[in-house]
Amino acid sequence: MIELFKSIIDIQTPFNMIVLVTLFGCAAGVLGAIAKEIRKYGCHRQDIAFKQELVDRGLGAEEIERIVGARSRAGVKQPSDEH
């Protein structure tokens, strides 16, 4: 890895900065995508735990659907809120 960095630095002056900026931009994009997927996984696990808690309480399927539906509608951004 250090040899790769040294070879990039040895490229002519304006081109090595372009390569470094591109490399850092790609790395930031990959890390951002990984963080987004981890967040989605956490939300999914939380949703499953919530539904399991409702089942453990002994609620019926209709009640669970109504509660989950109300919860999902409350989390959705309304078009009038975008202004």
Give the domain extent around 21: 2-74
Considering the domain boundaries, does residue 81 fall inside one? no
What is the distance between the alpha carbons of residues 37 and 21, in angstroms, rounded to a whole number? 24
What pTM was estimated for this model as a whole? 0.65
Q: Is residue 79 one of the residues assigned to a domain?
A: no
Distance (Å, whole) CA 83 – CA 48: 33
Q: pLDDT tens, 38-69?
A: 999 999 999 999 999 999 999 998 998 999 88
Residue 53 lies in a domain: yes
Give the count of domains, the chain.
1
Q: Is residue 44 situated within a structural domain?
A: yes
**With contact defined as beta carbons under 8 Å apart, do 32 and 43 qualify?**
no
Distance between CA atoms of 81 and 74, rounded to whole angstroms? 13
Question: Is residue 82 in a domain?
Answer: no
Q: Is residue 80 part of a domain?
A: no
Distance CA(3)–CA(22), nearest Å, equals 18
Contact 16, 9 (CB under 8 A): yes
58: which DSSP letter? T
Q: Is residue 33 part of a domain?
A: yes
Residue 22 lies in a domain: yes
**Segment 12-35, tens digit of pLDDT:** 888 888 888 999 999 999 999 999
